[in-house]
Each structure stands twice: as structure tokens, then as C-alpha cells.
């Protein structure tokens, strides 16, 4: 009677980076439960950083020992070249974001207190902190690792939730502008739940079509199952909505500015980098592995989405007066540029590999730059918190030239100016798209880049050629933020001047394409 279920085969070594992160998150929970309050922060900070660093080392080690060619963990996870590259990227970006999180003063003292109430005041004066942030961040990072590596839609959905739920919460924990933060959390939660429902609905319909949620089996079913095309198309559309929402592609971009603005800035940095990378990994896997055979059907729609996303992101960014909202729209526009790469799916292996490697490189370059940009945003502060309004940034170049120069560098990288990482990212993606015959898309991309460059340069002009206000914001750079800024500057410059090693690495990772 007992023991009739054969034990599943789990490749623990392959899944180690993910398991390490989840394990550390659970240890973090235990720390929350049992460690005395004054020790918690001191335990969490090294624990979280060491975990992420350790997981990164394991990932590197795995990439060197050989990349498996079959899915692992009973077919739930595919640890292949792109997945390992994405894991490495996410882990580094998360590490950098955690350095930002470590600095004081980003998170609320007592989330349960009503904003402006006596309880909140009391918690503030007593210096209470929510150290639960660290395990939550680790949970989210674990979800980010699972999301792009999931090999069936069910695992992918679970990963999506594991990634999103802690982020919904973290969004609402900003120390300043509590109401804005809570609004962001609720908006993100409601819209995110909605998009998850779409994803799940799409999964159900695709299961009805293919009789399996396994990505490879869905692809096989594309050629063999006939007469149920409605099911397939509606399923694909819903799945696409769920995934595009996470990327923030138009017309599902509405949450992004509000959420990016209201969240604590380190969490915004994590979302703008890690979540975007993970979501693109998952999107690529779904559309290339499961729906590769359906390319002729979804490519035109993806064209439209990419164009709309780029244009909406670039044009709406111009009208923004808030630095965080501007960066959010910039992130939307970059999502559009990345979608060009998704569309650049060709007919032969080589073409696909080059498109994939271009995307991977773009993700790395953009991830570092965006974390750096948000790190700079945290340093420019008014009495009531970070100075978000662009007018407060006027003349910053005269008062704090170094900060202004660094921020300008990030903005130039966003714009894709040569000698920055953004240039090679865009160049690689556009090149792949041209090779795949998507020249019109590239034209739109270049035009949007030009529009986007306008508002990036506008900020630079504002910082260097305006007179500083008398009561201008102060610039405070805690240690962690220093490190983050330095790393981001280094990455942006090195990838812009000497991109070959990372390009090669991305190329090697992309060579084997996704495991089927």
C-alpha cells in the first residue's frame, strides 16, 4: 500500500541556485520568527548578500561544467544556456538592488499604521523597522529565477505568483509618501491579479487544445491537433496578455508609472531590472518554444505591440515632470525595443541564436543602467523624501557635478549613445531584427530612440545649464548606494567600450537555444 509512488527525480545540483535562494528566504523567515529584534537586520544583510553571491557562483560553475540538454525536475524546469545566463543576470542585479535596500530610510517603520497617524509617528520616532523585507526580496528573486526557467505553463504560473506576490507587498512599504505607496501596491496587486487570471485562463485553454501544459508538447500539438484553432488562438492571446503585462508592454503598461513611482526606490530598481529580465526570459520561452510553430500568427500582433510600446513609452515620457515616472516610461520604451528582438525570430538556428544573444546582452546592459539610475534617484533628497520633481533637479550639475555626471551617463546609455552599453544593446537587437526582415520595426525603433533621446538630453540640460534653486535638494550618498553607483557606471562604460566578452558569453549561452 505504501511506497507505491516512485520518488521523483530532482536534479538538485542543477536547481541549486534557485534552491539556495528559496532556502535562504526560509531561513530569513526563521530569523524573523526567532532572532531578537535588534539582531535581525545584522543577520539579514549578510545572509541575503551571501546567498545571492553564492547562487551566482553556483550558476557560473554550472555554466562551466556543461549545460544539460533535457528538462529537469520531472520536466518542470529547463536549465539551459539562456536560463543560466538569465539567472546570472538576475542574481547580480538582485545583489546590487539589495545593496540599495540595505541603506537606511527606504522602508516604512510600521506598515500597519495609518499614514499620518499617531502610531506611525510613534513607530518612526522609535526607529522601528520591517526586516521582513529581506526574506520577501529573496522570495521574489527565487520566483524570478524560476519564471524564465519554467518548462511548463503550470510551473510558470506558480513562479509568476511567487515572483509577484512579494513585490506587491514590497511596493506598499515606502517610508515617505505613504499614501502614494499604498496606492501603488493596491494598483499593482489588482492589475497583477487580473493579468495572472488571464495567464491562467490562457493556460487552461491551451491545455484544452494540446492536452498538456508542457511547452514542448504544446509545440508538438501545433502540428498534430486540428480543428480546435479557436481554443488555441484565444489561449495564446490570453497567455500573451499575462506575459506582456509583466513586461509592461502597451496597451498593458498603465500600471508601470504609478507602481514605479510609489514603490520604495530600491524595490523599483529591483522590479525594473530583475522582473523585466525574468519576464522577458519567460516570454521568449513561451513564444519560441511552445508557440514557435505558430510564428506566422503571433508575429504580426507582436509587431503592433512592439510599435505601440515604443511609441507610447517615448512620447508619454516627454510629458513627465516626475523623475521616477519618466524612468518608468523609459522602461516601457525599452520593453518595446526588446520586443523587436522577440519578433526577430528567423527560420534558421543561427538567426535565432543571434537574436537571442542580442536580447540577452540588451537585458544585461539595460538592467545595470536602470539600477544605477534609480540608485541616483535615491540620493537626491528633500526634507519630505526623495526629490522627484524634475524642477528640483535643476542645476544639480553645478552643486554636485559627480552625481549629475553619473546620472547623465545612465541617461545617455538609455538613449543609446555610442560608447555606452545601451548603444551596443540596441545595435545588436536592431541588427538581428534587420536580418530577420523586420526593417520597418527597426525604423520605428530608431525614431522612438530619437524621441526618447530628446527627453533624456532635456534632463541633462536641466542639470547642467540651469541655475540651482536656493533651497535645492541635498545629495546624500550612503555606502551601499556608492557601491551600486560605481558598479553601474563600470558596467555601463565597460559594456559600452569593450562589450566583446559579454557579447561572447551571451552568444555562447544562446547557441544552444532553449531546451525543448
Stretch that binds other proteins, among 82-90, 112-120, 365-373, 439-447 (CB under 8 A): 112-120
Closest approach, Cβ 113 to other proteins, in A, equals 7
* Whole-angstrom distance, CA of residue 509 vs CA of residue 516: 15
Q: Does 2 bind other proteins (CB under 8 A)?
A: yes
Cβ-Cβ contacts under 8 Å for 189 (sequence gap 6 or more): 168
What is the footprint of other proteins within residues 160-199 (CB under 8 A)? Answer: 161-162, 165-166, 168-169, 172-173, 175
460-489: contacts with other proteins (CB under 8 A): 474, 476, 478
Burial class (CB in 10 A: 0-12, 13-18, 19+), 118: exposed
CB-wise, 166 or 367, nearer to other proteins? 166
Alpha carbons 140 and 496: distance in angstroms, whole number: 30
Q: How far is the CB of 485 from other proteins (least distance, A)?
A: 17
Distance CA 82, CA 85 (A): 5
389 binds other proteins (CB under 8 A): no
Q: Answer yes or no whether residue 237 interacts with other proteins by CB under 8 A.
A: no
Among 43, 53, 158, 294, which residue interacts with other proteins (rule: CB under 8 A)?
A: 158
5 vs 470, beta carbon nearer other proteins: 5
Q: Does 297 bind other proteins (CB under 8 A)?
A: no
Give CA–CA dist 510/363, Å, rounded: 13
Q: Is 419 in the site for other proteins (CB under 8 A)?
A: no
Contacts (CB under 8 A) with other proteins, residues 35-54: 37-38, 40-41
Contacts with other proteins in 48-87 (CB under 8 A)? 73-77
Member of 121, 389, 443, 490 binding other proteins (CB under 8 A): 121
Supply the minimum distance, in Å, between the C-beta of residue 127 and other proteins.
Answer: 4
Q: Nearer to other proteins by C-beta: 197 or 497?
A: 197
Find the binder of other proteins among 43, 154, 405, 457 (CB under 8 A): 154
We find the least distance from the C-beta atom of residue 154 to other proteins, in angstroms, to be: 5
Nearest-angstrom CA–CA distance, 98 and 115: 26
Cα 401 to Cα 368: distance, rounded to the nearest angstrom: 21
Sign of CA dihedral 58, 63, 66, 69: positive
Asked whether 184 and 197 are in contact (CB, 8 A), the reply is no
Strand ranges, E, within 289-427: 380-382, 385-386
Position 29 contacts other proteins (CB under 8 A) = yes
Distance between CA atoms of residues 92 and 53, nearest Å: 8
Q: Among 52, 96, 123, 373, which residue interacts with other proteins (rule: CB under 8 A)? A: 123
By CB under 8 A, residue 359 contacts other proteins: no
d(CA 361, CA 366): 9
122 touching other proteins, by CB under 8 A: yes
Site membership for other proteins, residue 119 (CB under 8 A)? yes
Rule CB under 8 A: is residue 155 a binding residue for other proteins? Answer: yes
Where are the extended beta strands (E) located within 316-462?
380-382, 385-386
| Number of residues counted as binding other proteins (CB under 8 A) | 79
Phi, psi of 150 (to 5 degrees): -65, 135
Burial of 244 (0-12, 13-18, 19+ CB in 10 A): buried
- 328 makes contact with other proteins (CB under 8 A): no
Stretch that binds other proteins, among 121-129, 422-430, 452-460, 489-497 (CB under 8 A): 121-129
Which of 64, 66, 125, 223: binder of other proteins (CB under 8 A)?
125
Identify which of residues 263 and 420 has a Cβ nearer to other proteins in the complex: 263
CB atoms within 10 A of CB 500: 10
Candidates 130-138, 254-262, 417-425, 487-495: pick the segment binding other proteins (CB under 8 A).
Answer: 130-138
Whole-number minimum distance, CB 313 to other proteins, in Å?
28
| CB distance 25 to 142 below 8 Å | yes
* Position among 66, 384, 470, 471 found at the interface with other proteins (CB under 8 A): 384
Instruction: Find the shortest distance in angstroms from Cβ 469 to other proteins.
Output: 17
- Cα gap 309→329, rounded to integer Å: 10
Three-state DSSP state, 36: coil
Contact between 226 and other proteins per CB under 8 A = no
Q: Using an 8 Å Cβ cutoff, are 372 and 488 in contact?
A: yes
The region of 129-137, 404-412, 417-425, 454-462 touching other proteins under the rule CB under 8 A is 129-137
User: Could you say whether residue 105 binds other proteins (CB under 8 A)?
Assistant: yes
How many degrees, rounded to 5, is the angle at CA 369 between CA 438 and CA 339? 20
Tell me how far apart the alpha carbons of residues 362 and 276 are, in angstroms, rounded to a whole number: 11
The secondary element (H helix, E strand) that includes residue 474 is strand 474-475
Residue 190 CB, nearest approach to other proteins (Å): 15
Answer for which of 59, 92, 95, 132 binds other proteins (CB under 8 A) is 132
Amino acid at each position: 500500500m505504501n511506497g507505491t509512488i516512485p520518488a521523483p527525480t530532482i536534479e538538485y545540483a542543477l536547481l541549486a541556485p534557485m534552491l539556495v535562494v528559496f532556502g535562504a528566504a526560509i531561513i530569513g523567515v526563521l530569523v524573523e520568527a526567532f532572532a531578537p529584534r535588534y539582531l535581525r537586520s545584522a543577520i539579514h544583510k549578510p545572509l541575503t548578500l551571501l546567498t545571492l553571491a553564492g547562487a551566482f557562483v553556483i550558476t557560473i560553475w554550472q555554466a562551466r561544467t556543461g549545460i544539460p540538454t533535457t528538462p529537469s525536475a520531472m520536466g518542470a524546469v529547463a536549465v539551459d544556456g539562456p536560463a543560466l545566463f538569465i539567472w546570472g543576470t538576475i542574481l547580480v542585479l538582485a545583489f546590487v538592488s539589495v545593496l540599495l535596500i540595505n541603506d537606511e530610510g527606504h522602508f516604512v517603520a510600521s506598515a500597519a499604521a495609518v499614514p499620518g497617524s499617531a502610531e506611525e509617528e510613534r513607530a518612526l520616532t522609535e526607529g522601528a523597522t520591517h526586516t521582513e523585507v529581506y526574506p520577501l526580496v529573496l522570495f521574489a528573486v527565487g520566483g524570478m529565477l524560476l519564471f524564465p526557467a519554467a518548462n511548463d505553463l503550470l510551473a510558470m504560473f506558480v513562479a509568476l505568483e511567487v515572483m509577484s506576490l512579494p513585490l506587491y507587498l514590497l511596493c506598499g512599504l515606502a517610508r515617505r509618501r505613504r499614501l502614494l505607496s499604498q496606492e501603488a501596491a493596491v494598483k499593482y496587486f489588482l492589475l497583477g491579479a487580473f493579468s495572472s487570471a488571464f495567464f491562467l485562463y490562457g493556460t487552461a485553454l491551451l491545455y484544452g487544445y494540446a492536452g498538456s501544459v508542457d511547452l514542448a508538447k504544446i509545440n508538438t500539438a501545433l502540428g498534430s491537433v486540428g480543428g480546435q484553432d479557436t481554443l488555441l488562438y484565444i489561449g495564446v492571446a490570453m497567455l500573451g496578455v499575462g506575459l506582456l503585462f509583466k513586461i509592461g508592454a502597451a496597451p498593458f503598461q498603465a500600471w508601470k508609472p504609478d507602481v514605479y513611482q510609489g514603490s520604495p526606490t530600491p524595490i523599483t530598481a529591483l522590479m525594473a531590472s530583475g522582473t523585466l529580465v525574468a519576464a522577458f526570459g519567460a516570454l521568449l520561452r513561451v513564444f519560441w518554444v511552445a508557440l514557435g510553430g505558430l510564428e506566422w500568427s503571433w508575429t504580426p500582433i507582436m509587431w503592433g505591440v512592439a510599435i505601440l510600446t515604443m511609441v507610447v513609452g517615448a512620447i508619454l515620457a516627454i510629458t513627465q515632470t516626475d523623475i521616477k515616472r519618466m524612468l518608468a516610461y523609459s522602461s516601457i520604451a525599452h520593453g518595446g525595443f526588446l520586443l523587436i528582438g522577440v519578433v526577430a525570430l528567423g527560420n534558421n538556428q543561427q538567426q535565432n541564436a543571434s537574436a537571442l544573444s542580442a536580447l540577452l546582452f540588451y537585458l544585461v546592459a539595460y538592467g545595470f543602467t536602470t539600477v544605477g539610475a534609480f540608485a541616483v534617484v535615491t540620493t537626491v533628497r528633500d526634507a519630505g523624501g526623495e526629490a522627484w520633481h524634475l524642477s528640483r533637479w535643476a542645476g544639480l550639475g553645478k552643486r554636485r557635478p559627480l552625481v549629475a555626471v553619473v546620472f547623465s551617463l545612465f541617461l545617455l546609455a538609455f538613449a543609446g549613445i555610442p560608447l555606452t552599453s545601451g548603444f551596443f544593446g540596441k545595435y545588436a537587437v536592431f541588427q538581428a531584427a534587420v536580418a530577420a526582415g523586420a526593417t520597418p520595426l527597426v525604423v520605428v525603433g530608431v525614431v522612438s530612440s530619437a524621441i526618447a533621446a530628446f527627453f533624456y538630453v532635456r534632463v541633462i540640460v536641466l542639470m547642467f545649464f540651469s541655475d540651482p534653486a536656493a533651497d535645492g535638494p541635498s545629495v546624500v550618498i550612503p555606502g551601499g548606494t556608492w557601491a551600486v553607483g560605481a558598479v553601474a557606471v563600470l558596467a555601463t562604460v565597460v559594456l559600452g567600450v569593450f562589450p566583446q566578452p559579454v557579447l561572447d558569453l551571451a552568444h555562447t549561452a544562446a547557441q544552444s537555444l532553449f531546451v525543448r
